[in-house]
């Protein structure tokens, strides 16, 4: 019997998240979700009709979402969520289940970490869960709904209820040829709705890109390998440059945020991307994350010439034993070098620290605060340890008892501390985070450093907004621990 194959209407929805951040959300930006954008573009390439909703930036209420679902009547509804916004994804799925007969597919890092638990805890809400990358999986779900694939069990990388019990299919191999993917379907949502975090605010139009997937490092607090894998897979320098040029020429973008875990992991590739931007004389500014062992002065100099204005480093701690305990393959000396080398080349530096690791003590955290105040980083972020599902730490802290967990508190700069070290309780840890922020930012030399880095009135206003947000968050923290 011949199967009728037809174009399918697909709706992809990003779960809202800012309501879980507390006062600091005042400084939070909104970014186009590249994961859904890639899936949308991939499905469109194969002939499907795709729509996207971003309730946060479109200011949609749950009633609005209900109306959109009813109006579009999609056959497939894909929802993406991280851990802190999972409860919002659940609400959207329940709406979809009540107001549409479409297939509801959940994806994202939280779903990839706990697929069986989610299906068991919320039976009948999700038809299936996508584990890992979503492009090929979403396409095969469409083929299943079209009748081309006879059973969900034939689709790799999903979990679904089979006769009342979760069935996880074999894992889907991660894509090797990232250059073969179309650019994310940014045309599905107005790019002007997206604004960067206050500390990365620039003039003009901002866009995000990702130039690689997968992180080969094994930091025990990071869950990115669940969706992106543990092997570094990079797009070619030519492919990355083509997308940057496309964003500049077709979308009028002049500010780019590179969202790779470690953009400079392949330093030669990063240098070639910079050279292409320089040769083309693209008038752009950009930001990226790096690892302190994956930079040198030549690369940092090229990055500056190519328009990079700031680099973010995950320093985490200034104690070598703590770094060892979290499987962070860096040294304190490497962090010191990388920060100073970047500043020497004229780049701003954002340094990220994590407090509350299992071996952290008051002394190790005081040492880290002293280090942060002693290196010339422009901004420092003192985050609480969050043991995300899918990490080694999550199993150590929570075991298999998930029912009483408040997923909305899994925010590094959120209001509440979710876990603490062996030698510090949650209140002591929160007090040290407050102390770190006050000690770092209220130094006259640091305030002057931030002030002279500002290049426009809009940037000044953004920094003031960010400072106010941090102050309100600190006040919230202080009230909770009665400092």
CA–CA distance from 398 to each of 115, 165, 389, 406 (Å)? 16, 23, 9, 12
- Joined together, the tokens standing for residue 406 give 């408040």
Secondary structure element (H or E) that encloses residue 278, with its range: helix 267-280
- Backbone φ, ψ for residue 87 (5° rounding): -65, -35
pLDDT on residue 159: 98
pLDDT on residue 483: 53
Q: Identify the three-state secondary structure at position 369.
A: helix
pLDDT on residue 301: 98
Residue 363 burial (C-beta neighbours within 10 Å; 0-12, 13-18, 19+): exposed
Reference 198, options 478, 409, 12, 454; nearest CA is 454
pLDDT on residue 481: 60
Q: What architecture does CATH give domain 196-481? A: Alpha-Beta Horseshoe (3.80)
pLDDT on residue 139: 97
Q: Identify the three-state secondary structure at position 216.
A: coil
Q: What is the pLDDT of residues 368-391, one digit of tens each?
A: 999 999 999 999 999 999 999 999
pLDDT on residue 154: 97
Q: What is the pLDDT of residues 262-276, one digit of tens each?
A: 999 999 999 999 999
pLDDT on residue 392: 85
Q: Could you check whether 9-168 and 196-481 share the same CATH topology?
A: no
Residue 364 burial (C-beta neighbours within 10 Å; 0-12, 13-18, 19+): buried
| pTM of this prediction exceeds 0.75 | yes
pLDDT on residue 5: 55
Farthest-apart Cα atoms in the chain, separation: 78
Residues of the chain with pLDDT under 50: 1-4
d(CA 108, CA 112): 6
Please name the residues in contact with 434: beta carbons below 8 A apart, sequence gap of 6 or more: 474, 477, 478, 481, 483
State the pairing for strand pair 158-162/165-168. antiparallel
CATH number of 9-168: 3.40.50.280
pLDDT on residue 57: 92
In the block, residue with structure tokens 């897979």: 233
- What ranges do the domains of the chain cover? 9-168, 196-481
Reference 337, options 373, 366, 375, 370; nearest CA is 375
pLDDT on residue 255: 96
Please name the residues in contact with 324: beta carbons below 8 A apart, sequence gap of 6 or more: none
Please name the residues in contact with 256: beta carbons below 8 A apart, sequence gap of 6 or more: 206, 207, 208, 209, 244, 247, 284, 285, 286, 287
């Amino acid at each position: 019997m011949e199967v009728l194959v037809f174009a399918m209407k697909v709706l992809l929805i990003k779960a809202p998240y800012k309501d879980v951040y507390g006062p600091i959300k005042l400084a939070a930006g909104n970014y186009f979700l590249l994961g859904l954008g890639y899936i949308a573009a991939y499905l469109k390439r194969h002939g499907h009709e795709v729509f996207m909703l971003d309730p946060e930036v479109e200011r949609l209420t749950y009633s609005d979402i209900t109306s959109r679902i009813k109006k579009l009547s999609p056959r497939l509804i894909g929802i993406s969520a991280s851990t802190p916004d999972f409860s919002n994804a659940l609400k959207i799925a329940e709406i979809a289940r009540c107001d549409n007969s479409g297939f509801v597919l959940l994806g994202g890092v939280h779903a990839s970490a706990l697929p069986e638990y989610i299906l068991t805890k919320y039976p009948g809400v999700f038809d299936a869960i996508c584990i890992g990358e979503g492009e090929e999986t979403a396409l095969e779900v469409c083929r299943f709904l079209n009748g081309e694939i006879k059973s969900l069990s034939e689709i790799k990388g999903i979990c679904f209820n089979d006769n009342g019990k979760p069935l996880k299919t074999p894992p889907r191999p991660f894509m090797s040829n990232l250059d073969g993917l179309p650019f994310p379907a940014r045309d599905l949502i107005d790019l002007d709705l997206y604004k960067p975090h206050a500390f990365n605010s620039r003039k003009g139009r901002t866009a995000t890109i990702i130039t690689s997937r997968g992180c080969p490092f094994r930091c025990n607090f990071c869950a990115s390998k669940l969706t992106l894998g543990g092997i570094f897979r990079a797009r070619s320098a030519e492919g990355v440059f083509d997308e940057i040029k496309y964003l500049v020429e077709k979308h009028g973008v002049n500010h780019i945020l590179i969202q790779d875990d470690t953009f400079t992991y392949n330093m030669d590739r990063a240098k070639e991307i910079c050279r292409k931007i320089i040769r083309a004389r693209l008038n752009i500014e950009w930001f990226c994350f790096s690892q302190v062992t994956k930079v040198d002065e030549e690369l940092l100099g090229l990055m500056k010439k190519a328009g990079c204005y700031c680099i973010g480093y995950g320093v985490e701690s200034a104690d070598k034993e703590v770094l060892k305990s979290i499987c962070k393959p860096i040294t304190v000396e490497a962090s010191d070098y990388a920060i100073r080398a970047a500043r020497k080349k004229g780049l701003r530096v954002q340094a990220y620290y994590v407090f509350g690791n299992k071996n952290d003590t008051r002394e190790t955290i005081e040492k880290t605060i002293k280090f942060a105040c002693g290196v010339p980083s422009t901004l420092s972020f003192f985050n609480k340890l969050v043991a995300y599902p899918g990490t080694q730490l999550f199993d150590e802290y929570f075991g298999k008892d998930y029912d009483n967990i408040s997923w909305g508190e899994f925010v590094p700069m959120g209001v509440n501390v979710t876990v603490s070290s062996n030698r510090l309780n949650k209140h002591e840890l929160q007090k040290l985070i407050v102390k770190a922020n006050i000690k770092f930012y209220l130094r006259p030399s640091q305030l002057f450093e931030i002030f002279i880095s500002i290049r426009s009135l809009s940037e000044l206003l953004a920094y003031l907004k960010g400072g106010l947000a941090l102050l309100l968050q600190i006040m919230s923290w202080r009230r909770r621990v009665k400092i």
